[in-house]
Structure 1
Amino acid sequence: MWIRRCVVEKTRRETQVSMTSTYSEEATASGRPLPAAAGAPTRFQPEIQGLRALAVLVVLLYHFWPERLTGGYVGVDVFFVISGYLITAHLFKEAVKTGGVRLGQFWGRRIRRLLPLSLLVLLLTAISAVFILPSTAWQATLRQIIASTLYVQNWILAADAVEYSKADERATAVQHFWTLSVEEQFYILWPVLLALTLLFLGLRQRRSGAPGLGHRQIRATFLWVVGLLGAGSLAFSIYYTAAAPAQAYFVTPTRIWEFTLGAVAALVLGSRQFTGRGGNVLGWIGFLMILGAAIFYTDATPFPGWTALLPTLGTVLVLACGGREPGTGIYWWLSLRPATAIGDWSYAIYLWHWPVVVFSPYISESARFWYVKVLLILGIIGLSALSTRFFETPIRRAKILLPTWRTMAAAGAGMVLVIVSGSVAVSAMQTNSADSALSEDHPCYGYRALANPEECGSPFEGDLGLWPSPAVVTQQYQEEAFPGCQADEDTPGVQECWLGAEESEAQGTVAVFGDSHATMWLPALDEIAQEQNKQLLVLTRSACTPRGGEVGGDSSECLRSNVEAIDELTTDQNVDTVVIAASQMHGEFGGPSSDLGLDAERYDLDDSALAMYEPIVRLLEAEKEVVVFGETPRMSNDEQSEETLPECVALNEGDLSACNERLEDTQVGDRWLTRSAEVFAEEENYHFVPTEDLVCREDTCYAVLGGAITYSDNSHLARTFVRSTIPELTSRMEPALAANS
Structure 2
Amino acid sequence: MTVPSTTRRSSADAAGSAPEHAEAQRRRRGSRFQPEIQGLRALAVLLVVLYHFWPEHLPGGYVGVDVFFVISGYLITAHLFKEAAQTGTVRLGRFWARRIRRLLPLSLLVLLVTAVSAVLVLPSTAWQSTLRQIVASTLYVQNWILAADSVDYSKLDEQATAVQHFWSLSVEEQFYILWPLLLVLALLVTGARAARTAQAVRTTFIVVLVALGAASFGFSVWYTAHEPAQAYFVTPTRIWEFTLGALLALWMGSSQFTGRVANLVGWAGLGMILASAWLYSDATAFPGGAALMPTLGAVLLMMCGGREAGTGVHWWFSLRPATAIGDWSYAIYLWHWPIVVFSPYLSEEAKHWYIKVMLILGVVGLSAVTTRYVEAPLRRARFLLPTWRAVVAAAAGMVLVISTAHAAVAAVERGFADTELSEDHPCYGYRALANPDQCGDPLEGDLGLAPHPAEVTAQNNEPIYADCQADTEEEGVKECWLGAEETDADGTVAVFGDSHATMWLPALDEIAQEHDKRLLVLTRSACSPRVSALDDDSNACVRANAEVMDRLAEDDDVETVVVAGSQIHSSFSGPDDDLELPETDLELTDTARAMYAPIDAWLEAGKEVAVFGEVPRMNKETEDEQTLPECVALHEEDPAACRDEVDDTHVGDRWLTRSVEVFGDEDNFHFIPTEDMLCDDEFCYAVLGGAITFRDNSHVSENFVRSATGEIGQRLESAILSST
Q: Structure 2 length as normaliser, TM-score? A: 0.95
Aligned residue for 2:696, secondary structure, equals: coil
Q: Is 1:539–2:528 an aligned residue pair?
A: no
CA displacement 1:181-211 (0-9 Å, x = unmatched):
0000100011111112223344995xxxxxx
State the one-letter code of the partner of 1:114: L
* Residues 251-270 of structure 1 mapped to structure 2, 5 A cutoff: 251-270=234-253
- Please give the alpha-carbon distance, in whole angstroms, between the structure 1 residues aligned to 2:608 and 2:417: 43
Q: Is 1:566–2:566 an aligned residue pair?
A: no
Q: Is 1:341–2:341 an aligned residue pair?
A: no
- Please give the alpha-carbon distance, in whole angstroms, between the structure 2 residues aligned to 1:288 and 1:562: 50
Post-superposition shift, 1:600? 6.1
Which residue, out of 139, 149, 164, partners 1:175? 164
Which residue, out of 382, 391, 401, partners 2:374? 391
Which position in structure 1 is the counterpart of 2:645? 662
CA displacement 1:620-656 (0-9 Å, x = unmatched):
1101011011111111011675211100000000111
Aligned residue for 1:72, secondary structure, equals: coil
The answer to whether the Cα contact below 8 Å between 2:159 and 2:624 also exists between their aligned partners in 1 is no
Post-superposition shift, 1:306? 1.2
Post-superposition shift, 1:595? 2.6
Q: Is 1:186–2:169 an aligned residue pair?
A: no
Q: Is 1:90–2:79 an aligned residue pair?
A: yes
Post-superposition shift, 1:253? 0.7
The answer to whether the Cα contact below 8 Å between 2:265 and 2:300 also exists between their aligned partners in 1 is yes
Which residue, out of 354, 378, 385, partners 2:337? 354
- Please give the alpha-carbon distance, in whole angstroms, between the structure 2 residues aligned to 1:375 and 1:613: 56
Which position in structure 2 is the counterpart of 1:578? 561
Q: Which runs of 5+ in 1 are unaligned?
A: 1-23, 27-35, 206-211
Post-superposition shift, 1:464? 2.0
Q: Is 1:699–2:682 an aligned residue pair?
A: yes
Task: Give me the identity figure in percent.
Answer: 66
* Residues 182-581 of structure 1 mapped to structure 2, 5 A cutoff: 182-202=171-191, 205=194, 212-461=195-444, 463-581=446-564
The answer to which of 630-639 and 640-649 deviates more is 640-649
Post-superposition shift, 1:41? 11
Which residue, out of 603, 620, 634, partners 1:651? 634
CA displacement 1:660-711 (0-9 Å, x = unmatched):
1111111111111111112212111011111011011121111111111000
- Please give the alpha-carbon distance, in whole angstroms, between the structure 1 residues aligned to 2:508 and 2:311: 73
State the one-letter code of the partner of 1:80: F
Mark the CA change 1:640 to 1:161 in structure 2 (over 3 Å): closer, same or farther.
closer
Which position in structure 1 is the counterpart of 2:126? 137
Size of the alignment, in residue pairs?
699
Mark the CA change 1:640 to 1:517 in structure 2 (over 3 Å): closer, same or farther.
closer
Which position in structure 2 is the counterpart of 1:711? 694
State the one-letter code of the partner of 2:322: A
Mark the CA change 1:637 to 1:600 in structure 2 (over 3 Å): closer, same or farther.
farther
Aligned residue for 1:696, secondary structure, equals: coil
State the one-letter code of the partner of 2:159: R
Which position in structure 2 is the counterpart of 1:31? none
Which position in structure 1 is the counterpart of 2:11? none
The answer to whether the Cα contact below 8 Å between 2:491 and 2:518 also exists between their aligned partners in 1 is yes
Which position in structure 2 is the counterpart of 1:10? none
The answer to which of 153-162 and 457-466 deviates more is 457-466
CA displacement 1:587-634 (0-9 Å, x = unmatched):
222223223223566222222112111111111110101101111111
Mark the CA change 1:462 to 1:664 in structure 2 (over 3 Å): closer, same or farther.
farther
Aligned residue for 1:576, secondary structure, equals: strand
Deviation above 6 Å: which 4+ runs of structure 1? none
The answer to whether the Cα contact below 8 Å between 1:477 and 1:718 also exists between their aligned partners in 2 is no
Q: Is 1:610–2:593 an aligned residue pair?
A: yes
The answer to whether the Cα contact below 8 Å between 1:485 and 1:540 also exists between their aligned partners in 2 is yes
Aligned residue for 1:740, secondary structure, equals: coil
Which position in structure 2 is the counterpart of 1:21? none
Mark the CA change 1:41 to 1:53 in structure 2 (over 3 Å): closer, same or farther.
farther
CA displacement 1:458-489 (0-9 Å, x = unmatched):
21235321011101101112222212211111
- Please give the alpha-carbon distance, in whole angstroms, between the structure 2 residues aligned to 1:718 and 1:463: 21
The answer to whether the Cα contact below 8 Å between 1:461 and 1:656 also exists between their aligned partners in 2 is no
State the one-letter code of the partner of 2:664: A
The answer to whether the Cα contact below 8 Å between 2:86 and 2:196 also exists between their aligned partners in 1 is no
- Please give the alpha-carbon distance, in whole angstroms, between the structure 1 residues aligned to 2:68 and 2:134: 22
Which position in structure 2 is the counterpart of 1:29? none
Mark the CA change 1:126 to 1:636 in structure 2 (over 3 Å): closer, same or farther.
same
Root-mean-square deviation over aligned CA pairs: 1.7
Q: Is 1:124–2:113 an aligned residue pair?
A: yes
Aligned residue for 1:168, secondary structure, equals: coil
State the one-letter code of the partner of 1:356: I
- Please give the alpha-carbon distance, in whole angstroms, between the structure 2 residues aligned to 1:394 and 1:554: 59
Aligned residue for 1:478, secondary structure, equals: coil
- Please give the alpha-carbon distance, in whole angstroms, between the structure 1 residues aligned to 2:30 and 2:288: 29
State the one-letter code of the partner of 1:514: G
Which position in structure 2 is the counterpart of 1:102? 91
Post-superposition shift, 1:526? 0.3
Aligned residue for 1:547, secondary structure, equals: coil
CA displacement 1:214-243 (0-9 Å, x = unmatched):
111111111111111111111111111111
State the one-letter code of the partner of 2:457: T
Q: Structure 1 length as normaliser, TM-score? A: 0.92
State the one-letter code of the partner of 1:419: I
- Please give the alpha-carbon distance, in whole angstroms, between the structure 2 residues aligned to 1:139 and 1:731: 37
Which position in structure 1 is the counterpart of 2:10? none
Q: Is 1:729–2:712 an aligned residue pair?
A: yes
Aligned residue for 2:519, secondary structure, equals: strand
Which position in structure 1 is the counterpart of 2:13? none
* Residues 622-661 of structure 1 mapped to structure 2, 5 A cutoff: 622-638=605-621, 642-661=625-644
- Please give the alpha-carbon distance, in whole angstroms, between the structure 1 residues aligned to 2:723 and 2:224: 51
- Please give the alpha-carbon distance, in whole angstroms, between the structure 1 residues aligned to 2:70 and 2:445: 55
- Please give the alpha-carbon distance, in whole angstroms, between the structure 2 residues aligned to 1:622 and 1:267: 71
The answer to whether the Cα contact below 8 Å between 2:491 and 2:517 also exists between their aligned partners in 1 is yes
Post-superposition shift, 1:272? 1.6
The answer to whether the Cα contact below 8 Å between 1:435 and 1:469 also exists between their aligned partners in 2 is no
Which position in structure 2 is the counterpart of 1:149? 138
The answer to whether the Cα contact below 8 Å between 1:322 and 1:329 also exists between their aligned partners in 2 is yes
Post-superposition shift, 1:449? 1.4
- Please give the alpha-carbon distance, in whole angstroms, between the structure 2 residues aligned to 1:202 and 1:436: 72
Mark the CA change 1:204 to 1:644 in structure 2 (over 3 Å): closer, same or farther.
closer
Mark the CA change 1:510 to 1:599 in structure 2 (over 3 Å): closer, same or farther.
closer
- Please give the alpha-carbon distance, in whole angstroms, between the structure 1 residues aligned to 2:262 and 2:679: 69
The answer to whether the Cα contact below 8 Å between 2:616 and 2:675 also exists between their aligned partners in 1 is yes
- Please give the alpha-carbon distance, in whole angstroms, between the structure 2 residues aligned to 1:203 and 1:128: 51
